Amino acid sequence: MTTASRFALTLLAGYAASTGCALAEDIYVGSYGGSTETIFKQKIIPGYEKMTGNKVIYVAGNSTDTLAKLQAEKNNPQYDVALIDDGPMEQAVQYGFCGAIEPAPIYNDLYPLARIAGDKALALGVVATGLFYNEAAFKKAGWAEPTSWNDLTDKKYKGKMVIPPISNGYGLQTLLMFAELRGGGANKIEPGFDALVKEVGPNVLAWEPSPGKMTELFQNGDGVIGVWGTGRVKALRDTGFPVKFVYPKEGAFALFTAVCPIAKKAPKPGAQKFVQYLFTPEVQAILADSQAWGPMNSKVKLEPKVAQEVPYGPEQIAKLKPVDYKVVNAKRAEWTNRWNRTVER
Q: What is the tens place of the pLDDT at every residue in 198-247?
A: 999 999 999 998 889 999 999 999 999 999 999 899 989 989 999 999 99
User: 3-class SS at 124?
Assistant: strand
Q: Which of 10-14, 46-50, 147-151 has the lowest mean pLDDT?
A: 10-14
Q: Where does the pLDDT of residue 8 fall: very low under 50, low under 70, confident under 90, or very high at 90 and above?
A: low
Report helix, strand or coil for 85. Answer: strand
Work out the average pLDDT over 86-96.
Answer: 94
Average pLDDT, the chain: 92
Lowest mean per-residue pLDDT among 21-25, 68-72, 99-103: 21-25
In the three-class reduction of DSSP (H, G, I as helix; E, B as strand; rest coil), residue 221 is classed as: coil
Helices (H), the chain: 3-19, 34-39, 45-52, 63-72, 86-94, 135-141, 169-181, 190-195, 211-219, 230-237, 269-278, 281-291, 304-307, 314-318, 325-342
For range 180-190, the mean pLDDT: 97
Q: Contact at 8 Å (CB) between 297 and 134?
A: no
- Report pLDDT for 159: 97
pLDDT at 22: 44
Asked if the model's pLDDT at residue 18 lies above 90, the reply is no
pLDDT in tens, 279-332: 999 999 999 999 999 999 999 999 999 999 999 999 999 889 999 988 998 999
How much is the pTM? 0.82
Per-residue pLDDT averaged across 266-287, rounded? 97
Residue 167: which pLDDT band, with cuts at 50, 70 and 90? confident
Half-sphere exposure for 292 (CA within 13 Å, toward CB):
20
Domains of the chain with bracketed CATH:
3-126+255-321 (3.40.190.10), 129-253+324-342 (3.40.190.10)
